Amino acid sequence: MKHIKLLAVLFISAITITSCSDDDPVVINEDEVITTMTIELTPNGGGDKVTLQSKDADGDGPTAPVVTGGTLAANTTYNAVITLLNELESPAENITEEVAEEADEHQFFYSQTGLTSTFTYAGANDSNGNPVGINFTIATGSAGTGTYIVTLRHEPNKGASGVKEGDITNAGGETDIQVSFPITVE
C-alpha cells in the first residue's frame, strides 16, 4: 500500500513538473498606445506655422487629453504632417514610424464641422498605391470657426467605395486615435 501511495505521489509530481515547463511560448499582443498627436501646418508661400496637438498624459487613464487647436488664414493652403507618440515610454516611442512601416494596415481620415476646408492626401502611399495620410494638405475656405476631426484607422478596407478618396463611411477597421481640434479661420 505504501508503494502505491508513493507511486501516486511521484506520478502526480511528474505531471505537475512537466506541465509547468517554461518551454511553452507566451504570446502577448499589445495594442498601440498613442498619447500624443501633433500636426504641423506650414502655409504655402511662407508665414507662421500652426501646431495642433492632443496630449493624453495618462494614456487610456481617467484624465482627458489636452487638445490645442489653432488659427489659420482664410483661403490659404497648408502642408501638414502628423506625428504620433507614445510618451508613456522613455524615451518616447514614435508611433508614426510604425504606421509608415505598416502602411497597408493604416489610413488617416480628415473631416470638419462648421468650416469649408479641403483635405488632400500627400506624401507616400502604401504598397498598393492607396493613401496613408501622414502627410496631407489643407486648403482653407472663408472665415469661420469649427472643428477638424483627424482619425487613424487600423486595417481599414482601402478597396471599399470612397475610402481611397478619404471617405471614412465604408472604411471599417478599428479607430487607433480620433481627435477633434478647435479651429478658427480668419
- Position 7 in a domain: no
- Asked if the model's pLDDT at residue 133 lies above 70, the reply is yes
Asked whether residue 107 is assigned to any structural domain, the reply reads: yes
Measured between alpha carbons, how far is 51 from 101 in angstroms, rounded to an integer? 25
Rounded to 5, what percent of the chain is helix, strand, coil? 15, 40, 45
pTM of the model: 0.83
Whether 3 is covered by a domain: the verdict is no
Q: Is the confidence at residue 1, as pLDDT, over 60? A: no
Q: How many domains is the chain built from?
A: 1
Lowest mean pLDDT among 4-8, 78-82, 123-127: 4-8
Residue 13 resides in a domain: no
16 belongs to a structural domain? no
> Is residue 49 assigned to a domain?
yes
Q: What is the pLDDT of residues 53-90, one digit of tens each?
A: 999 999 888 999 999 999 999 999 999 999 999 999 99
- Separation of alpha carbons 88 and 58, rounded Å: 7
d(CA 57, CA 158): 32
- The predicted-structure confidence for 152-164, as pLDDT tens digits, reads as follows 999 999 999 999 9
Segments forming the whole domain that contains residue 104: 26-185
